[in-house]
Amino acid sequence: MPASEDGHTLADNVRPVTLVTEFSAASHAMAFLLWEFPGFLPGSHEPVIHISRPEGFAIPRRRGVKGHRGQFFEDEITTLNGLYITTRARTWLDCTRKMDIDEITVVADHLLRIPRPEFEGRSLPYCTLNDLEEMLDRHWGTPGIRKARLALEQTCVGADSAQETRLRLALARAGLPTAEVNVRTELSPGVVRQPDLGYREWRVAVEYEGEGHSEAEQIVRDIAREEDYSRAGWILVRISKRHLSTGATTAVAKVRRALEQHGWTPK
């Protein structure tokens, strides 16, 4: 490979390493990046290529390579554009040892999410809850597995982004009611909205707004959305990245005020 990486994808730079070391596959932090997982994995952007080989083979030792060795079932290795790589479920398991429980949940929510075929060209989730549970049962002694089990207890199908998952977890941890996640809700006859988090009993909707909400066309749509909620007697709580900083205390306070305004009281 030329020394310059210009014009090469990440997979282009990893593939020669997996080929020169037989029976190896991209794994751990490298697979995390190649699968484009959301969430924070410490060390994932270090200039190191992680590859794994099955038990019985020597651990790969090359400059710029972090080698791993472990037990692999046949269905835990796949290909991505011709590159051997650990499956999404196995990659999730391998990375749990370095992640906190909430970030493990962020990735699990991503894997379990039901896609929108009209936008993504697929109709099935990357994994099912059973897939992830089976992965934990297969490798019960793996470091980080206890955190992974705790993460599965709080995972939820429906979150469209890592920030939505973090917001949901912060609200639950603060003792607020359990919200519905991306559920289509009829506000009034013929008017249907799908809030990121919804509290139908108290008519409170919560929307996380990323950078795309600053675009002109999106601003117009957001105004129309807010008017729909207002006419139906709902409170729309808009959350941004700023509200999730410092432990999401500002986001929690905003949602709590809205719920209390519509009659919710802590138990």
Q: In whole angstroms, how far apart are CA 108 and each of 16, 39, 41, 43? A: 30, 10, 13, 19
CATH 3.40.960 maps onto the chain at 162-261
Contact 112, 125 (CB under 8 A): yes
Determine the Cα–Cα distance for residues 122 and 193; give it in Å rounded to an integer.
23
Determine the Cα–Cα distance for residues 194 and 228; give it in Å rounded to an integer.
12
Alpha helices (H) along the chain: 10-20, 28-34, 88-95, 101-112, 117-120, 129-138, 145-154, 162-173, 216-231, 245-261
Partners of residue 78 on adjacent β-strands: 85
pLDDT band at 179 (very low <50, low <70, confident <90, very high): very high
The bridge status of strand 191-193 relative to strand 235-239 is unpaired
Q: Is the pLDDT of residue 5 over 60?
A: no
pLDDT score recorded for residue 222: 87
pLDDT band at 46 (very low <50, low <70, confident <90, very high): confident
State the amino acid at position 29 in one-letter form: A
Residue of 90, 204, 106 whose CA lies nearest to 156: 106
Q: Is the pLDDT of residue 18 over 60?
A: yes
In tens, the pLDDT along 105-141 reads: 999 999 999 998 888 888 999 999 999 999 999 999 8
Give the whole-number percent of the chain exceeding pLDDT 90. Answer: 79
State the amino acid at position 147 in one-letter form: K
What's the whole-number average pLDDT of the chain?
Answer: 92
pLDDT score recorded for residue 240: 93
pLDDT score recorded for residue 219: 83
Q: Is the pLDDT of residue 6 over 90?
A: no
pLDDT score recorded for residue 116: 86
pLDDT score recorded for residue 214: 64
CATH class of 162-261: alpha beta
Q: In whole angstroms, how far apart are CA 31 and each of 10, 41, 52, 89, 237? A: 10, 12, 10, 11, 36
The bridge status of strand 77-80 relative to strand 83-86 is antiparallel
Q: Is the pLDDT of residue 218 over 90?
A: no
